[in-house]
Chains A and B, each alone.
Chain A
Amino acid sequence: MTDASSPRLHPKARLQRDDVRGRDVLLYPEGLVTLNATGVEILKLCDGTRSLADIVVTLERRYETTGLAADVGAFLEGLAAKGLVTYGP
């Protein structure tokens, strides 16, 4: 993954609100990952057109902060290792 690559959710994964437990989850065949609010924000930006660099800038503006690149990258790498996020050119 580089700053120029464009992450997107793998088609097998689906974002879903879990009302009963008051959380958001990423569902996939035979499993799920619990997401925090930031995780959901990140994934909603992963549409396959925005580059990783764009996503980081968008989030940094939204939260009026800087230095998010490492955390966002690590979060997406974790999901990519499970095959839940893929990268386009």
Chain B
Amino acid sequence: MSTLEIDAQTQTGPPRGAAQAAPRVHHRFGDPAFRVVTLVSGLTVAIAMFTLAGVLIYNSWTAISELGLSFLTTVAWSPSSGSYGALAALAGTALTTLVAMVIAVPLALVIALLLTELVPPGMARVLGTAVEMLAAIPSIIFGMWGLFVLVPFMQETVAPAVTESWLGQLPLLRPGETFQGGGFSILTAGLVLAVMILPFITAFSRDVLLMVPRVTKEAGYGMGSTTWEVLRKISLRYALSGVVGATFIGLGRALGETMAVAYLVGGDFLTVPKSLFDPGTTVASLIALQFNEATTKLDVSALIYMGLILFAVTMVFQVLAQIWLRRARRTTGGRA
């Protein structure tokens, strides 16, 4: 059996003749085995997903049947009197995530572009490693950092400066009735979340930006484009789906982050925050803070109901992202 023959085989697809039996031993065994393994792995993920959804629905059924959909629009959390509502936590989750995304996404993109396009490779490696190391820091450390550094800074410097100036009259910045000085607040939690998701979005975006073909970019420069034009019209457009994917990984992490937020957001379960400087709570942190001491069936069930909502919200975002990506792909000519 010569090398050439095998070469020919692999290039012309699956072999047909009995004369070529020897190398096909591996084909016959390797391909189906690999297919089975990939199928099993893929199914495991799908099964885990659906089982999780099933378990969440099953265990939250007590709360769903007792509290119904008004759970979503009620502000309450009192295990002793059996009243529960998710609105405050949902609002807090939305606000902290919004703060985190607004800060982290543009910053991450700029850093990724900087790393791939604008700095010499040596420096990019050093900066890239620094960003990746940021991703390896456990969330509890971010929580501690927030607690010991950011909270006093926000309380004593940022919050007074903003709320006492004209900025403090703007919606979302004007202190609400539950304002406690701004140290433990939606904004503090959002800022820490931003730092936490930044490395993920940066690292993923950098990797997709690195895959933009050099030739395409050089063609752009060849036609007289400025760096900015190449970045915007070639690199970013080419890497769009990857960047969106990176953003959604960050979003998922921000929505679900528990420990750091639990330390910083102020643990106010009973108010829909009117201002970024107000304390609040998030779905994930409320679950974490309440689960240990949840004793009654309804109590546990209400917490799992919360988990189900978080699960559903994440799913909706994923689906929306897919739809948006498909549309974007059509408008950019299929190469996004």
Q: Do A and B come from one complex?
A: no
